[in-house]
Structure 1
Amino acid sequence: MSVQTPVRPPPPPAPAQKPGSDFARLYKKIAAAGLMGRRPGYYTARIAAVAALYAGGWAAFVLVGDSWWTLAVAGFLAFVFGQVALVTHDTAHRQVFRLRKASERAGRLAGNLGIGMGYGWWQDKHTRHHANPNHAELDPDVLPDVLVWSQDQARVAKGLPRLLGRSQAFLFFPLLTLEGFSLHVAGVRALANRALKHRTLEGTLLFAHFAVYLTALFLVLPPGMAIAFLAVHQCLFGVYLGSIFAPNHKGMPILTGDERPDFLRRQVLTSRNVHGGRFTDLMLGGLNYQIEHHLFPSMPTPHLRRAQVIVRDYCRDLGISYLETSLITSYRQALTSLHRAGAPIREARAAAAPAGA
């Protein structure tokens, strides 16, 4: 779930490290293997394929028209919107274009106009996440705005996090149905922040998306069916997007205060990889190689699989824990961690029960 925060400029693609550091030596290995090189052919083909699916999905929407089969189209477009979000993610990390301006233009077209996601707001939030993954005070993805991610957060939780915290493991996937709506709302709310660059452009593209989207729904479909399409599409989009990002860090160690290991260990120890074949790579957009992505955020997606072998062996030689699980196991670990984090709320409620009886 999302909170509005001040916008800050993104960091350079590869974090600067002191000469001779563990990360610097790893980077040399990766660079020597040619894995930081651009892949224009891959991204041209990928963007063309996603654009074709996007256009085809909306064409199918018009052709199917006033039929409940249109809900199947809504499900398909939820997948397509997720793929557009993944392309936007790669663009923000400058995997696609070397220049910042080109990356921002493409990101706004795909994010703001394509799927109604505030690109500037999301880029700032995601940049701060990469700098300090799973840090309770510095990573916006583990702030207790809706859920609590640690027992320390649970002990001081109020409002919605306290209300949901005791059952949050069971509510996690149902709550993901709201994630698509949350992204839209957060993008619009961020427009009120004067620090947001190109606010007028971002707002124009965002509201253009909403206007065209809603006009198409209510022009092609009767009102009840249009609302059903919107609900199915946005809810499944949220579940798909949340399911992509949930395995990456949820259930991994949470840092606090001055607890800040060096860059290599900070990224590896707080991230989890998901093993699988090419289908997993497609569905998760390469983010199943989360460790490698966090270490080398500007590395093109198709290189992550090869980088994994180098990174895993390097971590083994240094004695750094490197976690890779199946997709199902990653969800189980994340939900187990959520349930454990909510324990203080359940205990406080149980202790208060006799007094209220």
Structure 2
Amino acid sequence: MLRTVRAHGLLRRRHAWYARVVAGNALALAGVVTGLVLIGDSWWALLLAAPLAVLFARTAFIGHDAGHAQITGRKDVGRLLGLVHGNLLLGLSHAWWNAKHNRHHANPNHLEKDPDVAADVLVFSGGQAGGRKGLRRWLTRNQAWLFFPLTLLEGVALKVHSFQDLRRQPPRERLVEGALLVGHVAAYSGLLLTVLSPGRALAFAALHQALFGLHLGLAFAPNHKGMEMPDPDGERWGHLRRQVLTSRNVRGGALTDWFLGGLNYQIEHHLFPSMPRPHLRRAQPLVRAHCREVGIPYTETGLVDSYAQALRHLHEVGEPLRSR
């Protein structure tokens, strides 16, 4: 399959395409900021929180692609793109996200190795749910209903984790990452407090960060939740089975591709992490055909059904706690 993908040129970088995406996103961000300044200290300014949240998600997708070397093969350029789009524009640590996300890609849905399914506010298996007490027990019992409301806090949570991770980083990296994170907070809060009164600035920030977190939740929820989870004590899966069986694709057209940042081709992305985003759609029929040939189930569903499957899994995990 790798030879076929390479023969079709699907691993070649798309520098011009990404240049247009990065430039377009920067211009759109500048446009929203300009609109905020022109509207001034008015409650009408809160209408710009939604488009800014969407553009923040676009920025996160660019940072994600840079971290996977989809944009460029040069590590220094890729890191610079990640630092600008992550630390500076979003307040999200590029180093922290990359380390965490690479561990996820290496062992998706593995309870002991994938940080995305580690027991925290949410749990993803009956074993994780068993020992929950107090508030965490209540959260687990109701986690399917609480999932999307909880994503409203994700934008702030990512910033908190980013600052916390600075202690783990080497001194030089910590200095660069920390300075850019502080620069983001200063620029973001300075802009809002300069244009808006404190009350309106707080309302704008709360609405914007909540919608940003929700958008990220909508983009990442369909990918793996409710899919196969490797048994830590069971047979070891090869790379193809490990990546395909734990991932779910979402059907759709250009709008779905745009809204989900190409992550709707999760199977192809996991098999070929450095494949440029616009090539994922072209790789899909090749991957699907190969999976059919070797007898590996290839999961693809609609957007709404993908959310239903993910929430159904969370509901089933919490069922034992509701029956006691």
Say whether the fold is shared (TM-score over 0.5): yes
Question: In proportion to residue count, which structure has more helix?
Answer: 2
Superposition deviation, residue 159 in structure 1: 5.5
Superposition deviation, residue 288 in structure 1: 0.4
Superposition deviation, residue 194 in structure 1: 4.0
Q: 2-side partners of 1:318 and 1:232: how far apart?
A: 48
Q: 2-side partners of 1:255 and 1:32: how far apart?
A: 32
Q: Are residues 1:230 and 2:208 paired?
A: no
* Counterparts of residues 251-330 of structure 1 (less than 5 Å): 251-259=226-234, 260-330=236-306
In the other structure, the counterpart of 1:152 is 127
Q: Matched residue of 2:109: which SS?
A: coil
Q: 2-side partners of 1:256 and 1:124: how far apart?
A: 23
Superposition deviation, residue 160 in structure 1: 4.7
Q: 2-side partners of 1:196 and 1:159: how far apart?
A: 39
The code of the aligned residue for 2:282 comes to R
Q: 2:111 aligns with which of 110, 122, 136?
A: 136
Q: 1-side partners of 2:307 and 2:296: how far apart?
A: 23
Q: 2-side partners of 1:70 and 1:123: how far apart?
A: 34
| Alpha-carbon contact 1:137-1:143 (below 8 Å) kept | yes
In the other structure, the counterpart of 2:168 is 193
In the other structure, the counterpart of 2:318 is 342
Q: 2:30 aligns with which of 34, 55, 58?
A: 55
The code of the aligned residue for 1:56 comes to G
Q: How many residues align?
A: 323
Q: Are residues 1:30 and 2:5 paired?
A: yes
* 1:195–1:340 CA distance, 2 compared to 1 (3 A): farther
Q: Matched residue of 1:198: which SS?
A: helix
Q: 2:44 aligns with which of 56, 64, 69?
A: 69
Q: 1-side partners of 2:76 and 2:167: how far apart?
A: 23
| Alpha-carbon contact 1:121-1:196 (below 8 Å) kept | no
Superposition deviation, residue 218 in structure 1: 1.1
The code of the aligned residue for 1:40 comes to H
**Alignment gaps of 5+ in structure 2:** none
| Alpha-carbon contact 1:120-1:197 (below 8 Å) kept | no
The code of the aligned residue for 2:118 comes to L
Q: 2-side partners of 1:290 and 1:88: how far apart?
A: 17
The code of the aligned residue for 2:130 comes to R
| Alpha-carbon contact 1:177-1:236 (below 8 Å) kept | yes
Superposition deviation, residue 97 in structure 1: 1.2
Q: Are residues 1:96 and 2:46 paired?
A: no
* 1:42–1:278 CA distance, 2 compared to 1 (3 A): same
* 1:313–1:137 CA distance, 2 compared to 1 (3 A): same
Q: 2-side partners of 1:300 and 1:285: how far apart?
A: 11
Q: TM-score, normalised by structure 2?
A: 0.97
Cα deviation per residue 1:141-198 (whole Å; 9 max; x = unaligned)?
A: 0011111111111112345532300000000000000000000000000011145860
Q: TM-score, normalised by structure 1?
A: 0.88
Q: Are residues 1:107 and 2:87 paired?
A: no
Q: 2-side partners of 1:276 and 1:100: how far apart?
A: 33
Q: Matched residue of 1:342: which SS?
A: helix
The code of the aligned residue for 1:222 comes to S
Q: 1-side partners of 2:55 and 2:86: how far apart?
A: 13
Q: Matched residue of 1:69: which SS?
A: helix
**Alignment gaps of 5+ in structure 1:** 1-25, 351-357
| Alpha-carbon contact 1:272-1:325 (below 8 Å) kept | yes
Cα deviation per residue 1:71-118 (whole Å; 9 max; x = unaligned)?
A: 110111000000000000000000111111111111001100011101
RMSD of aligned Cα (Å): 1.2
Q: 2:138 aligns with which of 143, 149, 163?
A: 163
| Alpha-carbon contact 1:146-1:160 (below 8 Å) kept | no
* 1:112–1:268 CA distance, 2 compared to 1 (3 A): same
| Alpha-carbon contact 1:148-1:157 (below 8 Å) kept | no
Q: 1-side partners of 2:3 and 2:133: how far apart?
A: 47
Q: 2-side partners of 1:295 and 1:234: how far apart?
A: 32
In the other structure, the counterpart of 1:18 is none
Q: Matched residue of 1:95: which SS?
A: coil
The code of the aligned residue for 2:242 comes to R
Q: 2-side partners of 1:208 and 1:302: how far apart?
A: 32
| Alpha-carbon contact 1:281-1:287 (below 8 Å) kept | yes
Superposition deviation, residue 256 in structure 1: 3.1
In the other structure, the counterpart of 2:101 is 126
The code of the aligned residue for 1:283 comes to F
* 1:196–1:235 CA distance, 2 compared to 1 (3 A): farther
